[in-house]
Amino acid sequence: MRNVNQILAGKADRLITVPREAPVLEVIRLMAENHIGSVLVMQGDELVGIATERDYARKVILQGRSSAQTPVGEIMSHPVVTVGPTDTAQTCMAVMTDRRIRHLPVIDGERVVGMVSIGDLVKAVIEDQRLEIEQLQQYIAS
């Protein structure tokens, strides 16, 4: 089974972050432009929260708040659930299932090194299973 480092190696190095003062409207535009469902909220190099489409729906839309006037720091989820680079895809999926989340920032020491989504993990598991099936077929055929 693949670990987080291996999954991150197959992704673009681009990590989308915003400061906690950023207006929610800008954050939602950033998500839409980049076809992503969450962004990391940073204070300098420190991860202070994560803002997701779910946060927007529940903490802005349903509460009748202004997207243009509300800073993302007021609606972000925190503390942030994270994983390390050596954690397995299986571990990440268990964390996501238990916590009912779809995005996990990856922390190496004190530094944010990436993010894995449920889609990244499902893709990795499917690829691992495909390789295993291929190897078993070759073994049986020989």
| Residue 3: closest CA among 80, 96, 81, 84 | 84
* Predicted pLDDT at 100: 96
Cα dihedral 22, 27, 28, 32, rounded to 10, equals: 160
| pLDDT of 142 above 80 | yes
Q: Decide if pLDDT at 19 tops 90.
A: yes
Asked whether the predicted pLDDT for residue 13 surpasses 80, the reply is no
Beta bridge partners of 3: 88
Asked if pLDDT for residue 67 goes beyond 80, the answer is yes
> What confidence tens digit (pLDDT) does each residue in 73-128 have?
999 999 999 999 999 999 999 999 999 999 999 999 989 999 999 999 999 999 98
* Percent residues over pLDDT 70 in the chain: 100
- Whether the per-residue pLDDT at 1 is higher than 90: the answer is no
User: Could you give the domains of the chain?
Assistant: 4-141 (3.10.580.10)
